[in-house]
Amino acid sequence: MYVIGIDGGGTKTKGIIADENGTIYAMEQVGATNQNGVDLTVIERELTELFSSLEEQNKEAFSKVHTVFAGMAGVDRPEAKERMEGIFSKLVPGCAKIIIDNDGVNALYSGTLGFPGIVQISGTGSITFGINDKGERKRVGGWGYLIDDEGSGYDIGRAALHAVFKAHDGRGPETALTEMIRKHFTVSDTPELIAYIYGSNNPRSVIAPLSKYVTIAADRGDEMANHIIRESSSKLVHSIKSLYLQLFSSSQKVPVVLVGGLFSRLDLFLPAIESMCKQWNLPINLQAPKIEPVGGAAAAALVSAGCKLEESFVENMKRNEIIVQ
């Protein structure tokens, strides 16, 4: 059985054609497709490019696709989901079933392969999402950068800017982040940063990348950077705890999959997260994903079609990702 799995976010969108054995027949990556930050015409253009590429890479597999599962950021509201379904109906092959869902499903299944659990996504944005053994699902956070996205790359980048301006004003301690962020924007004085931040059409795309300087500064022992990391970790654990209490019994051991660019530095974030989880007696098992989120989307498509995934699915998908890339 062939399926298409799509992982759509605020920075990039990736799609694959795969089967129940974990074999990948085509793979493509395009730009952002989150309606909360990207115009609908741009989203349709990006998805058209993605589907055209998948078809070109393997016309036979594309023509026989049974299910398309698109886990995407920004589709929780009914009207947003309906708009996305309208776009996909023009692009999917034949009579393929279309499932539009939250991108949290992709990320969760990238670690659990269809079993219950919680996923903490922390990339450009952030969201905590879970499904219990009754099929009930909940989300915490992920309400967009203007309102929420605590513990995200954007949130950390914003905290870095806040620290830099507080240091400039004398309201906060000096930090190595000042020099790093000035250099990033090629300015010599902190107030010059304002034009770059407020002059952008998409401030989140400008601010989120600054989070990398927080990890660099933390490696160098900068106290403000380490403070930002501790605060970010605390926000994430609060979200995980809130979701756990809503979905699971107090003694149930639950896997929590940590997904997103933030966790490329688990050595910085994991100790603080583990410590807080123990402090609050949360019976969770923190784990890294087994496959990419787009593989989790393919797994979701297969599970929805009634397939039972074997352990070989993971190894085959990893092997095939290398070949296709």
124: confidence class by pLDDT, cuts 50, 70, 90: confident
36: confidence class by pLDDT, cuts 50, 70, 90: confident
Q: What is the pTM of this model?
A: 0.80
Mean pLDDT for all residues in the chain: 93
User: Closest by alpha carbon to 50, among 11, 104, 88, 103?
Assistant: 88
224: confidence class by pLDDT, cuts 50, 70, 90: very high
Q: Per residue in 251-260, pLDDT tens?
A: 899 999 998 8
| Strand duo 254-259 + 284-287: pairing | parallel
User: Closest by alpha carbon to 110, among 321, 325, 323, 297?
Assistant: 297
CATH superfamily of 116-289: ATPase, nucleotide binding domain (3.30.420.40)
Residue 117 has pLDDT above 60, yes or no: yes
CA distance readout (Å), 325 to 24, 25, 289, 300: 10, 11, 19, 22
In angstroms, the CA 244 to CA 138 distance is 9
| Span 68-80, average pLDDT | 92
Residue 320 has pLDDT above 80, yes or no: no
Query: Helix or strand or coil: residue 19?
Result: strand
User: DSSP for 79-113?
Assistant: HHHHHHHHHHHTTS-TT-EEEEEEHHHHHHHHHHT
Burial (CB < 10 A; 0-12, 13-18, 19+), residue 151, is buried
Burial (CB < 10 A; 0-12, 13-18, 19+), residue 311, is exposed
The more confidently predicted of residues 144 and 279 is 279
pLDDT value of position 319? 82
270: confidence class by pLDDT, cuts 50, 70, 90: very high
Q: Which amino acid is it at 323? A: I
| Span 111-122, average pLDDT | 93
Residue 325 has pLDDT above 50, yes or no: no
User: Do the two domains 2-113+290-324 and 116-289 of this chain adopt the same fold?
Assistant: yes
**Residue-level length of the chain:** 325
Decide if domain 2-113+290-324 falls under CATH 3.30.310.50: no
User: Closest by alpha carbon to 71, among 288, 295, 262?
Assistant: 295
pLDDT value of position 296? 95
What are the residue ranges spanned by the domains of the chain? 2-113+290-324, 116-289
Neighbours of 163 (CB within 10 A): 25
Helix axes 40-57, 78-89, angle to 10 degrees: 40
pLDDT value of position 321? 61
CB of 62 closer than 8 Å to CB of 90? no
pLDDT value of position 324? 47
Burial (CB < 10 A; 0-12, 13-18, 19+), residue 143, is middle
| Span 77-88, average pLDDT | 94
| Strand duo 24-30 + 117-122: pairing | unpaired
Q: Per residue in 135-146, pLDDT tens?
A: 999 999 988 888
The more confidently predicted of residues 299 and 73 is 299
Q: Report the percent of the chain where pLDDT is more than 90.
A: 80
Question: Positive or negative CA dihedral for 86, 54, 108, 126?
Answer: negative
pLDDT value of position 202? 86
